[in-house]
Amino acid sequence: DGGITQSPKYLFRKEGQNVTLSCEQNLNHDAMYWYRQDPGQGLRLIYYSQIVNDFQKGDIAEGYSVSREKKESFPLTVTSAQKNPTAFYLCASSIESLGTDTQYFGPGTRLTVL
């Protein structure tokens, strides 16, 4: 079955640690996205990638980093510089990055900072 997988589903981090969230897709999509979801705030774009080896900052990129070395993979690292990382993180992909393209979402990773 084609789709997007995210791992782990739940992640706990101590303050000062970097953690990496995995996102893999087998839909053969060029574009991939990372969103952060907080209660009552909807989804906010962290980073996006239109093609392999290229990515751009979204609206709230500070304290996060990404890589896009393979078409199917777009991992997100939450660094110690992110002041309030506790949130639900969603990865998405689309065929291309046109406004008409549907974004398909993974199941999410819930990150909690202890």
Partner 1 sequence: AQSVTQLGSHVSVSEGALVLLRCNYSSSVPPYLFWYVQYPNQGLQLLLKYTSAATLVKGINGFEAEFKKSETSFHLTKPSAHMSDAAEYFCAVSDASGTYKYIFGTGTRLKVLA
Instruction: Name the residues that contact partner 1, by CB under 8 A.
Output: 4, 6, 31, 40-45, 48, 58, 88, 90, 92, 97-108, 110
In whole angstroms, the minimum distance from the beta carbon of 83 to partner 1 comes to: 21
In whole angstroms, the minimum distance from the beta carbon of 97 to partner 1 comes to: 4
φ/ψ of residue 70, rounded to 5? -130, 150
Rank residues 16 and 99 by Cβ distance to partner 1 and give the closer one: 99
Cβ atoms within 10 Å of 44's Cβ, excluding its own: 14
In whole angstroms, the minimum distance from the beta carbon of 80 to partner 1 comes to: 26
Give the Å distances, CA to CA, from 82 to 3, 79, 91, 105, 112.
29, 6, 18, 23, 13
Rank residues 35 and 78 by Cβ distance to partner 1 and give the closer one: 35
Residue in 74, 88, 84 with CA at minimum distance from that of residue 31 = 74
Rank residues 52 and 95 by Cβ distance to partner 1 and give the closer one: 95
CB contact at 8 A, 22 and 77 = no
Rank residues 7 and 18 by Cβ distance to partner 1 and give the closer one: 7
In whole angstroms, the minimum distance from the beta carbon of 22 to partner 1 comes to: 14
